[in-house]
């Protein structure tokens, strides 16, 4: 009996979010994984020539079996699977792009361990939103998966990712720096310490976990805020480095143990790289424009595919192009010069590049002093979990019709200067504060972002908004 990809995927309940297909582990059966693989690969075969397909995973308990199903489907197509084991998503993407082959990352990123996902990369980089639609509508036929293959790990992706940065910087870059690595269950936890040490840093590993930890770099938990403060005080770190589950979003703390917002980290990285033009999601901090450091800044919907889609337009006008997200992932849209070396483009989220460029900028000072030189705009965000997407969309739709009525219900007395519906509802108030409501693209969550000239005010705004929405 043959199965039709479109039918299998339609009945699975798995949907594409801002970056990849996401769903409950129970929804990712062997045949659902196979349907995604067949739909993806048969869809791009008319455009690309390849004989191999790379696969890697994060540390979720469900990821190995999903990878086995993907590998089985790759073999059904007469292609050769290359399995890289547990590595960061950018390590897999970088190696596959250098080899000019497609790849599949089994990861749910930051979402809880009872969920998982698949990220797809063509030989030239991340799939587009149009590719996502084509995958879900694919009429590829395949046989059910009854037996799962044994996976044999290849170390090449891990090695080439390390070499990408070890060869870029002087071996003395981090001499005198003491760095803590919050390892938890990150996919890159086994490579960061050796890489930082090779560049001269004193490294201490922290918080390694045998259980999967869903770190969200956009909504850092109260526990992780306290941990960073305590670790910094105990060890006297110059910085603390961590990532989300699949290692494509950085989480960085300064010498005081204060976690940096991802868009501030991205801004500092882009500035240090002398980037000409940026594409960033609408949720990013307005310090980007206020810094006047870039020839052009284009705002997009939230999600790396939208950022990447702008790179082609910007590259036609500017020599160096990049993007980043509020979650910290940095996307390099063009080759750039770093000292005497050329860093190849990597148009997918990467956690290591922004951290290295921050440390480069802070070689002779502290991270907090580097941050203090930026326009002082502070962003805070939080989320309501187990909050249906339908309810979130209803709230936003009603607010678009009567925005001032929403503010009244939220207890906000300021008037509205402007509204942006690029992605969710982003309102700029008369006192220059910003409130942004948006349903998550990956899980049943409602996110709230607030921006102000004071971190205290930004935090209070988010708490006030979410509290009143619950009421």
Catalytic residues: 109
With the C-alpha atoms ordered 445, 451, 457, 461, is the resulting torsion angle positive or negative? negative
What gap in Å lies between CA 22 and CA 442, rounded to an integer? 6
Question: For residues 255 and 367, is the Cβ–Cβ distance under 8 A?
Answer: yes
Check: CB of residue 188 under 8 Å from CB of residue 59. Answer: no
Cα–Cα distances in Å, from 178 out to 103, 196, 232, 238, 366? 35, 10, 10, 5, 12
| CA–CA distances in Å: residue 101 to residues 53, 344, 365 | 6, 17, 42
Q: How many CA atoms lie within 13 A of 58 on its CB side?
A: 34
Which residue's entry shows tokens 């990597």? 346
- CA 1, distance to chain mean position in Å, is 39
| Distance in angstroms (rounded) separating the CA atoms of residues 358 and 366 | 10
Sort 106 into a burial class: Cβ within 10 Å, 0-12 / 13-18 / 19+: buried
Rounded Cα distance between 69 and 32, Å, is 9
180 closest CA partner among 164, 197, 166, 155: 197
- Output the 3-class SS for 75-108: HHCCCEEEEEEECCHHHHHHHHHHHCCCEEEECC
């Amino acid at each position: 009996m043959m199965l039709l990809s479109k039918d299998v995927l339609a009945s699975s309940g798995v949907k594409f979010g801002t970056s990849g297909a996401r769903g409950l582990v129970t929804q990712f059966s062997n045949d659902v994984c196979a349907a995604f693989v067949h739909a993806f690969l048969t869809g791009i075969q008319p455009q690309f020539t390849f004989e191999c397909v790379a696969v890697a995973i994060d540390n979720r308990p469900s990821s190995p079996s999903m990878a086995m199903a993907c590998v089985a489907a790759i073999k059904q197509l007469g292609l050769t699977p290359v399995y890289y084991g547990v590595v960061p998503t950018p390590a897999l993407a970088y190696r596959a792009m250098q080899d000019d082959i497609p790849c599949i990352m089994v990861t749910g990123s930051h979402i809880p361990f009872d969920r998982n996902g698949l990220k797809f990369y063509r030989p030239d980089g991340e799939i587009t939103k149009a590719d996502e639609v084509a995958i879900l509508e694919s009429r590829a036929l395949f046989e059910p998966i009854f037996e799962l293959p044994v996976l044999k790990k290849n170390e090449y992706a891990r090695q080439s990712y390390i070499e990408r940065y070890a060869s870029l910087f002087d071996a003395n870059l981090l001499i005198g720096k003491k760095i803590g690595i919050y390892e938890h269950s990150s996919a890159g936890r086994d490579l960061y310490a050796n890489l930082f040490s090779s560049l001269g840093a004193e490294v201490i590993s922290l918080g390694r976990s045998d259980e999967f930890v869903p770190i969200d770099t956009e909504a850092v938990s109260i526990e992780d805020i306290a941990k960073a403060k305590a670790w910094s005080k105990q060890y006297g770190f110059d910085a603390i480095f961590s990532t989300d589950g699949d290692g494509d979003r950085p989480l960085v703390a300064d010498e005081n143990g204060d976690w940096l917002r991802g868009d501030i980290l991205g801004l500092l990285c882009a500035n240090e790289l002398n980037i000409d033009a940026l594409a960033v999601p609408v949720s990013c901090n307005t310090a980007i424009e206020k810094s006047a450091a870039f020839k052009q800044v284009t705002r997009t919907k939230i999600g790396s595919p939208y950022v990447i889609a702008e790179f082609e337009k910007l590259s036609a006008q500017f020599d160096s192009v990049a993007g980043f997200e509020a979650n910290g992932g940095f996307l390099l849209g063009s080759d750039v010069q770093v000292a005497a070396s050329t860093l190849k483009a990597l148009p997918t989220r990467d956690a290591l590049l922004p951290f290295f460029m921050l440390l480069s900028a802070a070689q002779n000072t502290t991270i907090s002093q580097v941050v203090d030189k930026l326009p002082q705009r502070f962003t805070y965000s939080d989320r309501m979990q187990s909050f249906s997407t339908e309810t979130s969309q209803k709230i936003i739709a009603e607010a678009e019709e009567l925005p001032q009525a929403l503010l009244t219900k939220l207890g906000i007395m300021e008037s509205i200067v402007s509204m942006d519906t690029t992605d969710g509802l982003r309102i700029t108030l008369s006192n220059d504060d910003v409130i942004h409501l948006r349903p998550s693209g990956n899980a049943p969550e409602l996110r709230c972002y607030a921006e102000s000239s004071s971190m205290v005010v930004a935090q209070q705004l988010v708490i006030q908004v979410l509290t009143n929405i619950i009421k």
